[in-house]
Amino acid sequence: MPASEIKDINLAGLGKQRIEWAEGDMPVLRMIRERFRKEQPLKGLRLAVCAHITSETANLATTLAAAGGDCLLIASNPLSTQDDVAAALVKEHGLSVYAIKGEDVATYSKHVRIALDHKPHLIIDDGSDLVATLLQERQNQIKDIIGTTEETTTGITRLIAMEKDNQLTFPAISVNDAQTKHMFDNRYGTGQSTLDGVIRATNRLVAGRNLVVLGYGWCGKGCAMRARGLGANVIVTEVNPLRAIEAVMDGFRVMPIAEAAALGDIFITVTGNRHVIDGPHFAKMRDGAIVCNSGHFDLELNLVALEEQSTGKREVRPLMEEFTLKSGNRVYVLAQGRLVNLSCAEGHPASVMDMSFANQALAVEYLVKHKGKLKAGVNKLPEEVDQEIATLKLKSLGMHIDQLTPEMNEYINSWKSGT
Ligand code: ADE
């Protein structure tokens, strides 16, 4: 058995079943895996994968292993690991996994260092903790790095900051910028899995409730759309005027959080920014308000400020804490402010992760094929990769679309004919 740190190897049987169930809805990744098995594009290369250890990620890991890669996996979040999946990856697939649901921050940090001890040539990062640690503590390993891929909006913002600071001296691929990633994973994946997390954690009816979505990026759009579908009265908060207009025209009420705080029954943060729900906002909330975060890091809610104005807190359901404020009002926080969709539910469904992880797998292959030729810093995946993934996904859904006729093709490529 490979070196690992997981909760319980005896959970492997259940994990195996869940990995197979996810695989059934990941046809694009399966096709890539078959090609990789024949072509062995990662032969002889070591990979460190920092990701949510889910049944979908397991299918990415087995794809990279089928390509000849020597993969070690760590959790990208202390609460998102599916312990049965981690066990199956170790027992059934022989992969090294360092991930335990509920691990503390010290263990999480230890696992980041273990991943770097694997001496990776390639990094698959989710939030950029691996790359940030590499740059700060393992400069001597940078010469061996071919590149990194990053699939979160948060991680890419961080990579851009590293690049501006002249620290990112190897290529990174911004998988999140692929259309087949953010249009589906961020919107439909986050939309469904976040509401799933809120519902599994609380078992509250959403219909008729005021649900506040903070941030109207792709993830915010998905959450707002799905909350409306469940009958919520959705309020959106934004700092970007364009996105705010978009939310208005999509039919949502838009207002500052200082006003929304007093109206919401349920709050979901998806901004990628810090303390978007702050002390004064908690103070204004209705008795019984439910607050959670679906952005990558656990800093969107200022829980220190909430605690300071509380007279007590207790766990009232799994991953749900009740804070009693000095006013007597109670505020319920889900998953300690960590990703509610992965902590309280199972993350995005396999069908969208199929496209996200197809992008990850093809991005890693692209890095290897273009070794030494890509610029240091953040690179996009070529448009053709997006087109290929979209085409394969449509085909797997049994759908056919129209093709441009020669006449249409000629028209859109010329400028001469008008009215
Ligand atoms: N991010 C969001 N959902 C996910 C999932 N199911 N697996 C891995 N990463 C995810």
- Answer whether residue 153 shows pLDDT above 90: no
Mean pLDDT of 256-285: 98
Q: What is the pLDDT, as a whole number, of residue 419?
A: 78
> How many residues in the chain?
419
Q: Which domains does the chain have, with CATH numbers?
A: 9-181+348-396 (3.40.50.1480), 188-343 (3.40.50.720)
- The mean of the pLDDT values for the chain is 97
Is 90 exceeded by the pLDDT of residue 336? yes
pLDDT in tens, 67-115: 999 999 999 999 999 999 999 999 999 999 999 999 999 999 999 999 9
Question: Which amino acid appears at position 112 of this protein?
Answer: V
Residue 309 gets which letter from DSSP?
T
**Tell me, what's the pLDDT at 417?**
79
Distance of CA 215 from the midpoint of ligand 1 (Å):
20
pLDDT tens-place string over residues 213-242 = 999 999 999 999 999 999 999 999 999 999
Instruction: Give pLDDT, residue 412.
Output: 93
Where does the pLDDT of residue 373 fall: very low under 50, low under 70, confident under 90, or very high at 90 and above?
very high
Ligand 1 center to residue 373 CA distance, Å? 31
Percent of the chain with pLDDT over 70: 100
Quote the percentage of the chain above a pLDDT of 90: 97
Total-model pTM: 0.94
Q: What angle do CA 70, 76, 77 make, to 5 degrees?
A: 150
Q: Is the pLDDT of residue 154 over 90?
A: no
* Confidence check: pLDDT of 257 > 90: yes
Ligand 1 centre distance from Cα of residue 185 (Å): 9
- Start-to-end CA distance of the chain, whole Å, equals 71
Q: Is the CB of 56 under 6 A from ligand 1?
A: yes
Task: Indicate if ligand 1 lies below 6 Å from the C-beta of 348.
Answer: yes
Go through 27-42 and write b for each residue having 16 or more CB atoms within 10 A of its CB, e for each that does not. bbbbebbeebeeeebb
Q: How far is the CA of 366 from the centre of ligand 1 (A)?
A: 22
Residue 418: pLDDT above 90? Answer: no
- The CA–CA distances, whole Å, from 150 to 327, 364, 383, 419 equal 44, 10, 17, 46
With cut-offs at 50, 70 and 90, classify the pLDDT of residue 416.
confident
pLDDT at 304: 98
SS3 of residue 59 by DSSP: helix
Contact between 1 and 74 under an 8 Å Cβ cutoff? The reply is no
Helix 105-117 to helix 129-137 angle (10° resolution) is 70
Q: Is ligand 1 within 6 A of the CB of residue 82?
A: no
